[in-house]
Amino acid sequence: MFEIEKKFLINQDLFPHDQVIDTIKIEKKYLPNKREWVIRVRSIDAKTYFLTMKKKVNNVKNIEIEIPIDKNTYDNLSYLSNKSIYKTRKTISYDDNIWEVDFFDNGIILAEIELTDENQIFKIPDWITEEVTDNMKYRNVNM
């Protein structure tokens, strides 16, 4: 399955916390891998677990394979992890699009929008400051 997304930095002072429609806690554990694929296990609110394999196709498009797993499998694979990230994701609807805003434990805040097409036109909220889709520094695996 393809995933098309763009990432942005935000101005936290302008972020509309009162418009958040969902909040979840995410923990990602990256597994050692010497190939083009990023492999990770992910926990959502310590209730739902996934094994995910992701490969960059271009700056906005990825191949993503996500498989539900149980907690025991998550725990066992977590022991192999060489990197972990923790974040709180807040979801907002803006101009008929869903924005996921990740508040990382390291202080970075990123907004993400998933698109149906690489050339899709969408309205950018006023709390967005800079697009960082092409900046490798802001890929989760590099955080």
pLDDT digits (tens, 9 = 90+) for 16-62: 999 999 999 999 999 998 788 999 999 999 999 999 999 988 877 88
Strand 128-131 and strand 48-56: pairing? Answer: unpaired
3-class SS at 58?
coil
Q: How far apart are CA 2 and CA 75, in angstroms?
A: 27
Catalytic hit among 30, 49, 74, 94: 30
Burial class (CB in 10 A: 0-12, 13-18, 19+), 87: buried
The share of the chain scoring above pLDDT 70, in percent, equals: 100
Give the pLDDT of residue 59.
77
How many angstroms separate the Cα of 140 from the Cα of each of 30, 79, 86, 125, 137?
10, 19, 10, 22, 8
Q: How far apart are CA 14 and CA 143, in angstroms?
A: 24
Give the pLDDT of residue 68.
98
Specify whether 30 is catalytic: yes
pTM of the model: 0.88
